[in-house]
Amino acid sequence: MFIKNEIQKKKKINFSFLKLLALNKPEWIYILFGCITSLINGGIEPAFALILSKLVSVLDECNLSEHIRNVNFYIILFIVCGIVMLVTMFLQSFFFSMSSEGLTFRLRFRACQTMLKNNVSWFDRAENSTGILCARLSTEASAVHEATGVLLEIFLRSFANLAIGIILGLYASWQLTLLMCIFIPFLILSGWLQTKVLSRFVKMDSIAMEKAANIVAQVIQNIRTVVQLTEENFFLEKYKQIIDKPYKKLKLRAHLNALLFALANSISFFAQAALFSFGGYLVRKNYILFEHIILIFSIVTFGAVSVSQSFAMAPNYAKARSAAKKLFKLFDLESQDLDNVQSRNDKEETKGFDGIEFNNVTFAYENRSDVTVIKNFSLKIEPGQHIALIGASGCGKSTAIQLIERFYDYSHGSIIMNSKDIRQMNIKELRAKMALVSQEAILFDVSIRDNIKYGDLTRNISDEEMILAAQRANIHDFIVRLPKGYSTMVGSRGLQLSGGERQRIAIARVLVRHANLLLLDEPTSALDTINEKIVQHALDEAQQDYTSITIAHRLTTVKNCHVIYVIDRGHVIESGNHEQLMNQKGYYYKLVKCSQT
């Protein structure tokens, strides 16, 4: 598994415009009409150049009435061109904006969906920290639309402009047109080189910005700790160092980007110099008329402006290209299927709960693959049993619970529930059978009512059921004394409440879940003595209807468990009830005596 993930990390992700355009398929009608209006819009400037060249020729008209009539005719044509430009520009912007917004929405949704489908081990990696993933969702999806709608719009306009311009130029003077065509590859080459150089800068800048966003996210999430330690300047300096690296590298290569930009914008002037030099010669030889020079000059000018606009989009296109690569890399991940393996109607899977059994399970975390946390781990839990896992920190207690929840997948052995390996079960229904109360109760930034009802979003939980759960969790009386009662907002991560209050709300959330297996991962270890007693009473009440697994350092909280498993270095070394283990006078006996000293 670890080697496979490393290969996926190193795999080069190529940018594919067609692959990106395929994601925009639902908006194909907008893209189609956007392309049509862009082509029409691109043909207006060559038409304007033709009209302008004809207008110049009629200015030499000696007949005043004929002169005025022709000038007025061409002025009307200018107005018509302006109206057509107005309409087509509006329509192309509208159609491509609609397609781009649809793509942005789809990319954000799919990116979030892919993230949520991944195993917890994926979030443990440094490159998938909170700040980086939030930055990816907020900025990269919106940046990608520059590579579809805007790119198509400008490309088609430039293509129509150049194609129609070349056709008109060949009609007027094939010699001058061929001369001008010599400069087109240089324009395209300079623009391509500019995009390549900018792509490197953008990739470098994007990586730095993700790291910087991660630093900011950590500081904001832990602002109380940062302020208390007076480490604001330390993190500010760390942030500065991260954003300083791409800045310095960009300064070193700024001259190259400036040279390419200058080259792209100056080529048109060299082309015009060649145009008038050779055009003057052809006029003197009576091969062409002066109006033909004006026509080709206008075509070259408008074409150069159009191509320059394309090159001006190079930085945005480079950002879009870089962002698209990262999103494709995310989409290509082999994420877990939340509805995998078994049908929702499978009788064995949807029946109750017949206990759970570990059979020689071995597991190591992906980011510490050389350290085996659990090795040949075996134990059995019968329905209705209350068991406890105790041992020193790092012995594998919490890891065992995370394996049951399938936050991680073990490499060897099996965990059996309802006569099948849990890896072969529908993961949603597997987790629906469980309820977890962890050491730090995490609440959402919504009301107390919503936090409790989040325990089971598959059904409509009545207020009566919610209140009953709160009463059993010993938190109802506190809630009703609040000015807004159950509508009280708890703040980010529930930090507007005390630890004991958060923990009891989390227990109420567990109670509305109606799960079969209650997992208690040191739920009282961070509480003071008074809150510990209150929360422990709520937990005792909650465990009555559940099979439960309790992890605890305070041994007084597990004395009444049916079976206590003592774990050391990933192995079960002792098991039995409190009295049996005390009589054995082994590791558990020593722990109890030490806690009483």
**C-alpha span between 321 and 324 (Å, rounded):** 5
Question: Which residue blocks in 222-346 are alpha helix, DSSP H?
Answer: 223-228, 232-284, 290-312, 314-331
Lowest average pLDDT, out of 57-61, 93-97, 516-520, goes to 57-61
Task: Please give the torsion angle defined by the CA atoms of residues 17, 19, 25 and 28, in that order, rounded to the nearest 10 degrees.
Answer: 20
Q: Sort strands 547-551 and 386-390 into parallel, antiparallel or unpaired.
A: parallel
* pLDDT value of position 86: 93
Over residues 330-339, the mean pLDDT reads 61
pLDDT tens digits, one per residue of 217-262: 778 777 777 776 777 888 888 888 887 877 777 776 677 777 777 7
DSSP 229-245: TT-HHHHHHHHHHHHHH
Residue labelled with tokens 């990696």: 125
* pLDDT value of position 202: 62
Contact at 8 Å (CB) between 83 and 91? no
C-alpha distances out from residue 515 to 97, 122, 484, Å: 47, 27, 30
Query: What confidence category does residue 166 fall into, taking pLDDT thresholds of 50, 70 and 90?
Result: confident
Give the pair of three-digit tokens for residue 421: 């390996």
Over residues 509-524, the mean pLDDT reads 84
Q: Sort strands 434-437 and 517-521 into parallel, antiparallel or unpaired.
A: parallel
Contact at 8 Å (CB) between 216 and 131? yes
Query: What confidence category does residue 36 fall into, taking pLDDT thresholds of 50, 70 and 90?
Result: very high
**C-alpha span between 514 and 557 (Å, rounded):** 23
Buried b (16+ CB within 10 A) or exposed e, 81-109: eeeebeebbebbbebbbbbbebbbebbbe
Query: What confidence category does residue 277 fall into, taking pLDDT thresholds of 50, 70 and 90?
Result: confident
Residue labelled with tokens 């980011």: 367
Angle in degrees, 0-180, between the axes of helices 314-331 and 290-312, rounded to the nearest 10: 40
Question: In the predicted model, is pLDDT for residue 90 greater than 90?
Answer: yes
Contact at 8 Å (CB) between 473 and 508? yes
Percentages helix, strand, coil for the chain, rounded to the nearest 5? 65, 10, 25
Q: Sort strands 420-421 and 412-417 into parallel, antiparallel or unpaired.
A: antiparallel
Determine how many CB atoms are found less than 10 A away from the CB of residue 276. Answer: 14
- Positive or negative: CA dihedral 492, 497, 499, 500: negative
Sheet containing strand 374-381, edge to edge, reads: 374-381, 356-363, 412-417, 420-421
* pLDDT value of position 61: 65
Give the pair of three-digit tokens for residue 510: 């567990």
Over residues 180-204, the mean pLDDT reads 71
Give the pair of three-digit tokens for residue 393: 């920190």
Lowest average pLDDT, out of 13-17, 295-299, 421-425, goes to 13-17
Domains and CATH numbers, the chain: 17-331 (1.20.1560.10), 434-514 (3.40.50.300)
C-alpha distances out from residue 5 to 48, 249, 366, 368, 531, Å: 58, 31, 9, 13, 43
Contact at 8 Å (CB) between 563 and 576? yes
- Residue 413 has, within 13 A of its CA and on its CB side, a CA count of 21
Report the SS3 class of residue 547.
Answer: strand
pLDDT tens digits, one per residue of 412-459: 899 998 888 888 888 888 888 888 888 888 888 889 999 999 888 888
Over residues 255-280, the mean pLDDT reads 78
**C-alpha span between 262 and 61 (Å, rounded):** 41
Angle in degrees, 0-180, between the axes of helices 28-58 and 64-117, rounded to the nearest 10: 160
* pLDDT value of position 1: 43
Q: What is the residue-averaged pLDDT of the chain?
A: 80
Residue labelled with tokens 């923990």: 503
Contact at 8 Å (CB) between 146 and 154? no
C-alpha distances out from residue 417 to 96, 101, 402, 426, Å: 52, 46, 15, 12
pTM of the model: 0.68
Over residues 120-145, the mean pLDDT reads 77
**C-alpha span between 134 and 218 (Å, rounded):** 12
